[in-house]
Amino acid sequence: MIFQSIISKIKESNKIAILSHIMPDGDSIGSSLALYNALKKSGADVRFILDDEIPKIYRFLEGSDRIRRPGQFEGFDIIIALDCGDAERLGKSSLYLNNNYVINIDHHVSNNGFGNINLIDKDSAATGEIIYDIIKLLEIEMDRPICECLYTAIVTDTGQFQYSNTTFRTHQIVGDLINNGVNVSLMFEKIYQNNSKEKIVLIKTALSTLEFFHNDAISCISLTLEQMKETKAMDEDTEGIINLARDIDCVEVAIFIKELEPGKIKVGLRSKKKADVAAVALRFGGGGHVHAAGCTVKGTVAEVKGKILEAVAEELGR
Ligand SMILES: [Mn+2]
């Protein structure tokens, strides 16, 4: 029903804007570019507006060189926001939400339903899975560039098909993408075997801060602005660092603390089994999934670390 209203809304629209969140990841970029390429192919006047840079590793994807930055307010027949839990995460792109008809498509439980139509499917491993269905229902042919975008969305949000969000359906969809031309080893080479030297030096610095708490059930890695500057790494290079802290046998919850600007700290949280890190993040105004969540907190690195450690320990004791 909700799918049908979205499909008819898209079909009756010509001028369409796709928006997604700042600090983009593989799913936000992959799902947005897949829909962008598909709608473009169907003849729509479509643009993908993003208030950020596309991370280098995703620049091989079709359409990645045609993103627009948010500028003047413009009217669109519809706005489609993807993979974004709330309007604030759109950055300056949120200005397009005013006086435009908004379709909000996401898989985050914490999505606050800011659209006129909201399709929030927490059982989808990635927004890319929902976009796969949308493109199928629009009866637009799945060509190789579209499939590569969707594959990127799904492989990154499932942690290379290892997280509990990975389902039978995930593999069915991915099977179809491979059937339509995706070269798996080439995708892994582009996404995972393409690190810059600066990124690896950053990982070295990050690991030097690794600490354990709560009988080693909690691990914590932190990065200050100064350390970021010293390593000359890019902001996007911090992606995946938290996994190094998580992937340790004794660890149940991993914390990654990153200084965004003086007094403003971004916190990433990962858990393996029962601990609900989305609940922890929510207490600090953030959100996410049970096993992967985040928030932005005011304070120094040490202050924020103290508060988060306390909240995580409480969650573990529940
Ligand atoms: Mn996602």
Scored b (16 or more CB within 10 A) or e, 213-249 reads: beeebbbbbbbbeebbeebebbebbbbebbebbbeee
Helix boundaries (H) for the chain: 2-11, 26-41, 127-137, 144-157, 168-179, 184-192, 197-207, 225-231, 241-246, 277-283, 301-317
Distance from residue 107's CA to the centre of ligand 1 (Å):
7
What's the pLDDT score for residue 72? 85
Residue 74: the pLDDT is: 87
For a pLDDT cut of 90, what percent of the chain falls above it?
Answer: 94
pLDDT in tens, 215-248: 999 999 999 999 999 999 988 899 889 999 999 9
pLDDT in tens, 238-277: 988 999 999 999 999 999 999 999 999 999 999 999 899 9
What is the whole-number distance in angstroms between the Cα of residue 301 and the centre of ligand 1? 27
Q: How far is ligand 1, taken at its centre, from the CA of residue 288, in Å?
A: 9
Please give the average per-residue pLDDT across 177-203, as a whole number: 96
The structure's pTM equals: 0.85
Q: What is the mean pLDDT of residues 37-64?
A: 97
> CA-CA distance, 205 to 259, in Å (whole number)?
14
Domain boundaries, the chain: 2-192, 197-317
CATH class, domain 197-317, is: alpha beta
CA of 100 to the centre of ligand 1 (A): 24
Interval 137-180: pLDDT, tens: 999 999 999 999 999 999 999 999 999 999 999 999 999 999 99
Cα 198 to middle of ligand 1, angstroms: 26
**Per-residue pLDDT at 226:** 96
Q: What superfamily would CATH give domain 2-192?
A: inorganic pyrophosphatase (n-terminal core) (3.90.1640.10)
Chain segment 58-80, per-residue pLDDT in tens: 999 999 999 999 998 889 999 99
**Å from CA of 212 to ligand 1 middle:** 29
In the reported structure, the alpha carbon of residue 127 is separated from the centroid of ligand 1 by a whole-number distance in angstroms of: 5
In whole numbers, what is the pLDDT of the chain averaged over residues?
Answer: 96
Number of other residues whose CB lies within 10 A of the CB of residue 68? 11
